[in-house]
Amino acid sequence: MTCFSRPRYLLLASVIGMGVSVGDMAKAIPPVLQPEQSDVASLPPMGDHSVLVATGEQSFTLYDGDKGRILGTLPAEMVDNIAIAPDRKDIYVAVTMWSRGDHGTREDFLRDYDAHTLDLTHEIELPPRGLAVFKQQNLELSQDGHWAFVFDMSPATGVTVVDLHEHKAARTVDIPGCALIFPWAHDGFSTICGDGSLTNVALAGNNVNVTHSKPFFDANRDPVFEQSQVDRKTGKALFISYTGQVYPVTLGATPVMGKTWSLQAAAGQSAAGTGQQEQAWRPGGDQPFAWHEADNRLYVLMHVGGYWTHKQEGTEVWVYDVTTQHLLQRIDLPSPAKGITVSPDTANPQIYAMLASKKMAILSATTGQVEKTVEAKASGISIVPQP
């Protein structure tokens, strides 16, 4: 005779009374889950359609432009700056912090992250650097990947040259009255000065040679954008003014100034002036330019406005042939954009437009068609172009 304890007997009686079989009850019991296995993911090599975006979430976010998905993030504040190594194997972030959050002892570093694992591999101490919202021209790399150039302000302006092979600051070069960094093709960089000239810093081993150019634009009447473009492979630069004047310069110890041309005149329009009430198509935004060096095309965010609207979002992207200085294409954006960049490939180049709505639109640079729109949670600036 089979006997049951009283509690089990009552349970079976209750189940039978409800018309539920013992087999059904067994199926309702959740299975025992296997323990989770932890692992560490790695990223694929950074491709032509990888793009870094500075967000308002205290991070830089790496996106896959083809699939529109996030690949990974790096911690950063809006005053931090970022640069990608020419071989795309490292990502450098210049950071500043205080021992008590917003005050206390200040420390400045250049952090080196492995682009494959996003592991922090080195942290290099720096002198006090210039702090502003994200700006690519505050941190630049030499084309061979040997040197990093960090813009300083403490309070005098200077540039710290960092040896990325030895992982240490090599020297600081004073650049009084000048700011930002525009790297040469080899062994040096230039900075913009308040009188419309360039200070040029040539590096040769342990020797530094500093030269000064004559002014080539009117800094008081029509200054150039800090976000002006440089082709790092050739050392050629396009300094673009608030009204849309383009000043081609081949950077070096003795810069070579090219012939000035106008964005509007290249589009068959009158050149824009400096009148507050003078409405015209003008460049503007937080990152208004992208130079596609492979086919020598310049992409510009344009809007209609008066002089001194150089921060206004663009409603169109105008595409120029830099060689012939002619407008090739006008691309309508789905909504106003604060910044753009373009992928470096020629097979299927993409435009990445950071919209004022805090989304990122990905467009075909060939047709101008929107391929996808992704939630980027961007703070408003900040698409970092690929090397």
Give the start-to-end residue ranges of the domains of the chain.
Answer: 270-386
Look up the CATH number of domain 270-386. Answer: 2.130.10.10
pLDDT digits (tens, 9 = 90+) for 334-375: 999 999 999 999 999 999 999 988 889 999 999 999 999 998
- Please tell me the predicted confidence (pLDDT) of residue 379: 54
Alpha helices in the chain (DSSP H): 6-17, 22-28
Which residue(s) pair with 122 in the sheet?
112
pLDDT category, 66, cuts 50, 70, 90? very high
Q: Which residues of 360-373 are buried (b: 16+ CB within 10 A; e: fewer)?
A: bbbbebeebebeeb
pLDDT band at 21 (very low <50, low <70, confident <90, very high): low
Q: What's the average model confidence in pLDDT over 237-261? A: 97
Specify whether the CB–CB gap between 157 and 140 falls below 8 A: no
186-195, 200-209, 240-249: segment of lowest average pLDDT:
200-209
Distance CA 109, CA 112 (A): 10
pTM passes above 0.85:
yes
What are the tokens at 173? 């070069």
* Total residue length of the chain: 387
Is the Cα dihedral 233, 341, 153, 249 positive or negative? positive
Window from 35-44, 93-102, 198-207, 330-339 with minimum mean pLDDT: 35-44
Q: What is the pLDDT of residue 38?
A: 75
178 SS3 class: strand
The predicted pLDDT at position 23 comes to 57
Q: How many CB atoms lie within 10 A of CB 227?
A: 20
pLDDT single digits (tens) 130-146 = 887 778 899 999 999 99
